[in-house]
Amino acid sequence: MDEYTEKLRNLIQLSDRMTIFTGAGISTESGIPDFRSPNGIWSKLQPIQFQDFIDSAEMRAEAWRRKIIIDKDMQKALPNRGHRAVAHLVDSGKCQTVITQNIDGLHQDSGIPDQNVVELHGNGTYASCLQCSLRHELEPIFEAFNRDNTLPVCRHCGGIVKTATVSFGQAMPEEAMRLSERSTLSCDLFIVLGSSLVVFPAAAFPQIAKQNGAKLVIVNREATDQDRIADLVVHQEIGQVLGDATGVD
Ligand code: APR
């Protein structure tokens, strides 16, 4: 075990109330591409702004085309060693809250109860109506779209249906923000796993935790702007580092 992993293990052992904050980097070892690594999603596509999705049927069609492609990776993805190590920390009672920017549902699939996962950017495993919030399953939407490019509308109110994720320009989910702030302010250790920390307001939480007196750890392949305020920075693969630090295979 290298010195960084040893330091991480010690910080975990000293912590009573840990909050874990994850980004796309924890899911790359499950086969889901991240956004800002050299071959990440935003190296090939431009994000679709929320207002454009609302205003233009063509942008909605483009969004569903992308969703069907990305969903192929997501459908077959399984939790990896990093997810299992996070689940172990929740199961042990050391970690009360996992704040995730990810929409893949892999933290829940690893066995973490829903009430311990806060999905800051929503969830991509289902869709919902933007007017009345009614949940819509993806399967029939994909079938209709693949058949004749049918765009989904709400079966209850006729409103626009969108995957239950938060797009650029869309309001953040209030309850998720409230729960994230509460767990950020109540933890003694805040661990960032696999995020470039460039998208706000999510990326403010590590700073808030540090300013509030928590120890801050960042485990990320590449450097982030917040490395300079962290107590420990580990530029290595999450699965190996966190697996070794927690003794999880
Ligand atoms: N181990 C460690 N770090 C990794 C690994 C890995 N196996 N794989 C990738 N990384 C790192 C990359 O180096 C990168 O810095 O994870 C980081 C992922 O950063 P982003 O791709 O920017 O993802 P994220 O920070 O989650 O993006 C935030 O941006 O596009 C929006 O809504 C989207 O939730 C997303 C938000």
The pLDDT tens digits for 204-239 are 999 999 999 999 999 999 999 999 999 999 999 999
Residue 223: per-residue pLDDT: 98
Same domain, 149 and 200: no
Same domain, 99 and 71: no
CATH of the domain at 88: 3.40.50.1220
Same domain, 184 and 64: no
What's the domain count of the chain? Answer: 2
Q: Smallest Cα–Cα separation from 163: which of 36, 74, 100?
A: 74
**Cβ neighbours of residue 177 under 8 Å, at least 6 residues apart?**
120, 201
Catalytic residue positions, numbered: 121
Q: Ligand 1, closest atom to CA 22? A: 26
Nearest-angstrom CA–CA distance, 166 and 171: 7
The CA R_g of the chain, rounded to the nearest whole Å, is 19
> Beta strand 161-165 with 122-129: parallel, antiparallel or unpaired?
antiparallel
Single residue among 165, 191, 222 that ends a domain in this structure: 165
Residue 100: per-residue pLDDT: 98
Same domain, 26 and 45: no
Does residue 193 contact residue 22 with C-beta atoms inside 8 Å?
yes
Nearest-angstrom CA–CA distance, 80 and 38: 21
Closest residue by Cα to atom 7, ligand 1, is 237
Residue 39: per-residue pLDDT: 87
Closest residue by Cα to atom 36, ligand 1, is 199
Does residue 134 contact residue 155 with C-beta atoms inside 8 Å?
yes
Listed as ranges, residues in the chain with pLDDT below 70 are: none
How far is residue 247 CA from its own chain's centroid? 24
Nearest-angstrom CA–CA distance, 113 and 203: 24
Same domain, 243 and 191: yes
Same domain, 142 and 227: no
Question: Which alpha helices (DSSP H) does 92-135 contain, by range?
Answer: 106-109
Same domain, 43 and 101: no
Same domain, 155 and 249: no
Q: How far is the CA of 178 from the centre of ligand 1 (A)?
A: 23
Closest residue by Cα to atom 9, ligand 1, is 25
Residue 59: per-residue pLDDT: 97
Substitution site in 45, 195, 205, 222 for ligand 1 pocket (most atoms within 8 Å of beta carbon): 195
Same domain, 229 and 196: yes
Same domain, 241 and 204: yes
Taking every pair of C-alpha atoms in the chain, what is the biggest distance, in angstroms?
58
Single residue among 113, 142, 165 that ends a domain in this structure: 165
Nearest-angstrom CA–CA distance, 14 and 20: 15
Tell me phi and psi for residue 164, to 5 degrees: -80, 40
Task: Give residues (CB < 6 A) around ligand 1.
Answer: 23-25, 28-29, 34-37, 40, 101, 121, 194-196, 199, 220-222, 237-238
Within 13 Å of residue 144, how many CA atoms lie on the same side as its CB? 11
Residue 112: per-residue pLDDT: 98
Same domain, 140 and 239: no
Q: Is the dihedral of CA 59, 65, 66, 68 positive or negative?
A: positive
Same domain, 61 and 160: yes
Q: Report the SS3 class of residue 110.
A: coil
Q: Which domain holds residue 152?
A: 35-76+123-165
Single residue among 146, 165, 184 that ends a domain in this structure: 165
